[in-house]
């Protein structure tokens, strides 16, 4: 409900600013042409900076790649430029300022680190719960479930766990049988 209210108020503000700027410059058509130009500028920015984002995200999760954190604010600015409105265009230009980009990078890195920490805590909490609960009997391996899951995944990758495997039988054919079979096939 709050999000809907924010979007509605934002839309009303965008329309009022559009009308105000249109009156200021003398024609609404200039503002409309600005929106068209901003759309294509934003589209070009998204195309340019989003090439190869997925591999960069994977590298960032493993070791931290600064290229993604450099490109992500530019992609968001491009998206904001594509939305028709002068307020979103001003926000896009603010995002392109290097100081704000550094703020954005720090915020994104902190969010990523927090997500990884939460995931590690969840994994460790699950393992500790198994050790302290019923699964933690004396002499039992606390990592047994995780090892079994990894083994199942490996079997599926190797095709052993696939349900499309068809069993069959093989028999050995002696050379005499081959000759007999060949004698039966006479070209005429």
Q: What is the pLDDT of residues 53-68, one digit of tens each?
A: 766 666 666 655 555 5
The answer for 141, left when phi > 0, alpha when psi is -120 to 50, beta otherwise, is: beta
Residue 165 has pLDDT above 80, yes or no: no
d(CA 52, CA 73): 15
Q: What is the pLDDT of residues 76-88, one digit of tens each?
A: 899 999 988 888 9
């Amino acid at each position: 409900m709050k999000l809907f209210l924010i979007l509605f108020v934002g839309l009303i503000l965008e329309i009022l600013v559009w009308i105000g700027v249109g009156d200021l410059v003398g024609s609404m058509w200039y503002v409309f042409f600005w929106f068209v130009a901003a759309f294509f500028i934003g589209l070009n920015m998204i195309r340019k900076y989003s090439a190869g984002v997925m591999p960069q995200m994977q590298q960032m999760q493993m070791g931290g790649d600064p290229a993604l954190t450099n490109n992500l604010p530019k992609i968001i600015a491009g998206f904001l430029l594509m939305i028709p409105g002068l307020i979103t265009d001003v926000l896009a230009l603010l995002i392109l300022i290097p100081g704000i980009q550094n703020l954005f990078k720090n915020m994104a890195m902190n969010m990523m680190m927090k997500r990884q920490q939460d995931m590690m805590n969840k994994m460790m909490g699950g393992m500790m719960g198994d050790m302290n609960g019923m699964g933690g009997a004396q002499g039992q391996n606390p990592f047994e479930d995780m090892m079994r899951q990894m083994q199942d995944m490996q079997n599926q990758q190797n095709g052993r766990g696939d349900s499309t495997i068809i069993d069959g039988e093989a028999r050995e054919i002696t050379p005499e049988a081959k000759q007999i079979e060949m004698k039966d096939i006479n070209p005429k």
